[in-house]
Amino acid sequence: MQQQDKIYVAGHRGMVGSAIVRRLQKDGFQNIVTRTSKELDLRNQEAVSEFFAEEKPDYVFLAAAKVGGIIANNTYRADFIYENIMIQSNVIHEAYKNDVKKLMFLGSSCIYPKLAPQPLKEDYLLTGLLEPTNEPYAIAKIAGIKMCDAYRAQYGCNFVSVMPTNLYGPNDNYDLNNSHVLPALLRKFHEAKVNGSPEVVVWGTGSPLREFLHADDMADACFYLMQHYNEDGLVNIGVGHDISIKDLAILVKEIVGYEGNLVFDTTKPDGTPRKLMDVSKLHGFGWKARIELKEGITSVYADLKTSKWSEKV
């Protein structure tokens, strides 16, 4: 990528897309094209076709998606598979039609089988059954990977796929019905501290293991791979180590400064027992994460306390 190239970041308002925009701007890229979902409905084939024909971007980061936690994924199953397949199919196809030099499709670690060996190697894709609660979303993302590979094989398109692990950072979603575990914990402990609540209830047993990557590290990895990765298949983006939900809750409790009790509601689902990425392929390309978890959560919470978010919870 050259600084004068036109770069379309789909989903620029989300945590992933906004981090990619920040990373591009950090290196002096200013010719960045964005559209809000109100300005451009990526589910609408005609609208996406008109957008690409008009803008003719050189590079595309496909970070737009319908996302959510366990409850959202399990409740809105039809929405998750339909909307994500429509978004990625329209963008990928129009990128091919309009001679985009390179497209990066961003997926999720939930694409891997529920009981796949740990850590999760890229080769484990489609080797077993998926986690039932987020199967529709995972199938949509798998379709995106295979679509990029198919357009590469048939048309010679330089379309690549990356699979970030669990992310956190600026512009995260703190809606308790739709958010992921880390932002949900931050909000729960913050509210409990402000309201003087005697306890905070965390879903599940606390035993599942999860890996967490700061969005700025994720964006840096995407920026790096956009310059250095030109193959089919996919690349995991993660830190290579994980933490139990119980230990994560204890860490967030400490960072927030909450002094009440921690209770685990074992009637609620745990989800996948473990989801640790094998990042040896990523390391082989010469990139490693830099932001430690405690440092990252501390900085995120410091920002939240000075933002309007703290007034909304």
pLDDT digits (tens, 9 = 90+) for 288-304: 999 999 999 999 999 88
Indicate if the pLDDT at residue 90 is higher than 70.
Answer: yes
Predicted structure pTM score: 0.92
- Is 17 annotated to bind ligand? yes
Residue 288: its pLDDT value, please? 97
CATH annotation of 7-170+211-239+276-291: 3.40.50.720
Residue 141: its pLDDT value, please? 97
Between residues 122 and 181, the one the model is more confident about: 122
Query: For residue 127, what pLDDT band results from cuts at 50, 70 and 90?
Result: very high
Q: What does DSSP say about strands 199-203 and 32-33: parallel, antiparallel, or unpaired?
A: unpaired
Residue 71: its pLDDT value, please? 75
Residue 311: its pLDDT value, please? 53
Which are the catalytic amino acids?
A: 137
pLDDT digits (tens, 9 = 90+) for 96-105: 999 999 999 9
At a CB cut-off of 8 Å and minimum separation 6, what does 73 contact?
Answer: 80, 133, 134, 136, 137
- Is 165 annotated to bind ligand? yes
Residue 198: its pLDDT value, please? 96
Indicate if the pLDDT at residue 203 is higher than 90.
Answer: no
Q: Is 268 exposed, middle or buried (0-12, 13-18, 19+ CB in 10 A)?
A: middle
Q: What is the mean pLDDT of residues 170-180?
A: 78
pLDDT cut 70: percent of the chain above it? 97
- Is 14 annotated to bind ligand? yes
